[in-house]
Amino acid sequence: MNPAPRWRYDEERHSGVDFSAPEEAAAYDAYMQKMRDIGGEVATIKAALGLSPADVLLDLGCGTGETALGLAPHCAAVHAVDVSREMVRLAAAKANTRGLANVRFAQAGFLTCDYPAATFDAVLSQIALHHLPDHWKHVALRRIHALLKPGGRFLLQDAVLPSGERDLDAYFAGLVAAVAAAGGEKVARDTETTLRDEHLTLDWIMEGLLARAGFAILSVTSAPPFITTYLCVKQESA
Ligand SMILES: C[S@@+](CC[C@H](N)C(=O)[O-])C[C@H]1O[C@@H](n2cnc3c(N)ncnc32)[C@H](O)[C@@H]1O
């Protein structure tokens, strides 16, 4: 196999929170179980993606796998991919414990996961794409477009910044305070790291990136503190 070109973004360098560290992965999993309504998320995502029992789903940046595992009983197969070996290890252990045999795991990133074109009926990515700078997001979104079958659906959920906000410093301070009140100090510190060191994108840029990658955006929904969900469908003319 040829070595990766030296200009390729190193996805394993982990901008911001280091999810390759076992203690970070374990802390994230505990936070997920406590703070998120996974059953509700699974129901919403299943309906939005229109998943049916014959479908093959890709979850990119699957983390510790709760959503992928929740969706597995509704699909023929789920491919759960994350750049952190430790996150994948925790997710695979849970799949094993829960007796879910139709989930395949891979340690890989948006830029390196390796599947033939038009493999998937649907692609999901939650709170992970912001680890890439914008021009690499463009590359990642073009790859996702290629991996989808004609008419395939893509649900992208990520931290996106509101361009209408006049005072981003005040916005960030309010956001960190809200996260601290809801989730405690550790999550607040992680949110500061995310705002400082990760690659959050403004709303209008994200919409442009999706459109130029060949997606039609069917709906956009925002949830506090700064998560936006784009439901998209693959267009053929990209
Ligand atoms: C905040 S967690 C979200 C995990 C999961 N999707 C969820 O909703 O709980 C972000 C995940 O993105 C992964 N990640 C970071 N950079 C990535 C990349 N370039 N490709 C794939 N996954 C990446 C991290 O390892 C981490 O598991």
Average pLDDT, stretch 40-60?
Answer: 98
pLDDT at 103 over 70: yes
What's the mean pLDDT in 96-108?
97
pLDDT for position 238: 53
What is the mean pLDDT of the segment spanning 2-26?
Answer: 85
For the CA of 62, the nearest atom of ligand 1: 6
Mind listing the pLDDT tens digit for each residue in 73-85?
999 999 999 999 9
Tell me, what's the pLDDT at 12? 86
Query: Is the CB of residue 154 below 6 angstroms from any atom belonging to ligand 1?
Result: no
Ligand 1 binding pocket includes 128 (Cβ within 6 Å): yes
Ligand 1: residue of 35, 78, 115, 127 to mutate (most ligand atoms within 8 A of CB) is 127
**Beta-bridge partner residues of 166:** none
Q: Is the CB of 110 under 6 A from ligand 1?
A: yes
CA dist., res. 232 & res. 238, Å (int): 14
Structure token digits, residue 75: 């699909």
- Sequence spans of domains, the chain: 21-159+201-234
What pLDDT, on the 0 to 100 scale, is given for residue 237? 66
pLDDT tens profile 106-121: 999 999 999 999 999 9
pLDDT in tens, 173-206: 999 999 999 888 988 999 999 999 999 999 999 9
- Cα(82) to ligand 1 centroid in Å equals 6
Q: How far apart are CA 112 and CA 104, in angstroms?
A: 16
199 token code pair: 């690659």
Q: How far apart are CA 217 and CA 210, in angstroms?
A: 8
Please state, as a whole number, how many other Cβ atoms lie within 10 Å of the Cβ of residue 1.
3
Of 90, 41, 44, 45, the residue nearest 63 (C-alpha) = 90
Taking the complete model, does pTM exceed 0.75, yes or no? yes
Inform me whether the pLDDT recorded for 1 exceeds 70. no
Cα 221 from chain centroid? 15
Q: What is the mean pLDDT of the chain?
A: 94
Asked if residue 225 has a cis previous peptide bond (ω within 30° of 0), the answer is yes
Q: Residue 127: CB within 6 Å of ligand 1?
A: yes
What percent of the chain is modeled with pLDDT above 90? 81
Q: Residue 146 phi/psi, 5° resolution?
A: -65, -35
Residue 63 near ligand 1, beta carbon < 6 Å:
yes
Task: Tell me which CATH homologous superfamily contains domain 21-159+201-234.
Answer: Vaccinia Virus protein VP39 (3.40.50.150)
Gyration radius of the chain's alpha carbons? 17
Is there an atom of ligand 1 within 6 Å of 178 CB?
Answer: no
How many angstroms does the Cα of residue 125 sit away from the middle of ligand 1? 8
